[in-house]
Amino acid sequence: MVSLELDPDEQNALLNELTGLVLESAPTDWSRIALEYKAIGRHVQVGAGAKDSAGNLIQWSPPDESWQLLWRLRVGMHRKRLGTWFSALYRLSPPNTYEIVYNRENEPQWNSQPSLADFLEEQSNFPRTMANTPAWFPAELRTEQREQ
């Protein structure tokens, strides 16, 4: 994979763009919005939620471009030999304060399990050394020494 590493300023610019998109589409009277993005290879699962000021869930879907921005962030945060994150949880609070938590080590809770082909693609696109390959990865990928 061609390196498209984003520096911290570029990462923040993508997150600010994401925040703008979410704010433009946010439901009225929202008090909290969350986006979750999980991926292994081409196996991607996303989820979104919003709450109103009383703490009740609100029906809401973010623009599709939100998921594209999170994919670009995932690609741009790949580091040689370390890989990239497997999931991210983005939370937005009024007026425009966000936080994001990245998971680089633990297996996400999947709705449906990724296939071996998804893991192989993950290792091809976001190579990591054996020392940086989690124990929950398929054995076939944990036994090969990856020094790319």
Rounded mean pLDDT, 10-29:
96
| Domain residue ranges in the chain | 8-142
Give me 6's structure tokens. 């984003």
* HSE, side-chain direction, 13 A CA sphere, residue 44: 10
Residue among 86, 75, 90 nearest 132 (CA): 86
pLDDT tens sequence across 63-113: 999 999 999 999 999 999 999 999 999 999 999 999 999 999 999 999 999
Q: Which residues pair with 88 in a beta bridge?
A: 37, 102
Q: Which residues pair with 40 in a beta bridge?
A: 43
What mean pLDDT value characterizes the chain?
92
To which CATH superfamily is domain 8-142 assigned? BH3703-like domains (3.30.500.20)
Residue listed under structure tokens 């944990």: 142
pLDDT of residue 141: 77
Rounded mean pLDDT, 119-128:
93
Residue listed under structure tokens 């911290």: 8
